[in-house]
Structures are given as C-alpha cells and as structure tokens.
C-alpha cells in the first residue's frame, strides 16, 4: 500500500473518531455508499480526486491533513482536538477572536 493511501486510511478514521461521526454519517453527507467509506478506512482503495474536497469539507480538515502524516510533528493531540472544536463551535471562534483582539 502506498504512503498516501495509508495516510488517507489512517486520517479518515482518525477524523471520523475525533468528530464523533460514523462511516455511515460520512457516507450520507457525501452521497456515497457506506461500503465506499469503509473501503477508504480499511485502505482497500482511496477516494477519487473529485471526492477529496468533499471529504475534507465534511470532516472540517484540509487536504494536507487528509493526505499528510498524522500531524504529530506539527500538533499535539490536545492541539488537534482544540482545532476541531474551534472549527465546529461558533462560540469558541468568538472567544478566540476576543483573545486575539480580532474584530471578526
């Protein structure tokens, strides 16, 4: 199995877990079969290029996060969880903007 496919396999599973989403939830959001998502998570195949942006959008991640390493060299587990929470909660975004003195 190639490095990219292995990363996609690991990262889809990781971000599903982090967001509390099931494979079925992701499949419904993407309008694909649950078996397609299962195959990605098991590394049997990889999503096609048109699906990559949709997966990233559904999981609230970047293409680099989907294709890249597990990010352990860039962020700690705690930091990664904070980023996901930030992306998912408007109130947290407002609090961070206050802390950073942003007017957004």
Write out the two tokens for 102: 């942003």
Average pLDDT value for residue range 27-41: 95
Ordered by where they begin, the domains of the chain are: 3-70 (1.10.260.40), 74-104 (no CATH)
| pLDDT band at residue 37 using 50, 70 and 90 as cut-offs | very high
Q: DSSP assignment of the chain, as one string?
A: --HHHHHHHHHHHHHHHHHT--HHHHHHHHTS-HHHHHHHHHTSS---HHHHHHHHHHHT--HHHHHS--STTT--HHHHHHHHHHHH-HHHHHHHHHHTT---
pLDDT tens-digit map of 8-28:
999 999 999 888 999 999 999
pLDDT tens-digit map of 65-95:
899 864 455 677 788 788 888 888 888 888 8
Q: Does the pLDDT of residue 59 top 70, yes or no?
A: yes
């Amino acid at each position: 199995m190639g490095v990219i496919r292995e990363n996609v396999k690991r990262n889809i599973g990781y971000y599903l877990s982090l967001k509390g989403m099931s494979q079925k939830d992701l499949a419904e959001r993407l309008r694909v079969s649950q078996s397609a998502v299962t195959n990605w998570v098991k590394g049997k195949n990889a999503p096609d290029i048109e699906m990559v942006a949709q997966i990233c959008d559904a999981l609230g991640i970047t293409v680099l996060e989907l294709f890249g390493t597990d990010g352990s060299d860039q962020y700690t587990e705690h930091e990664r969880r904070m980023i996901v929470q930030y992306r998912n909660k408007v109130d947290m975004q407002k609090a961070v903007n206050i802390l950073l003195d942003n007017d957004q």
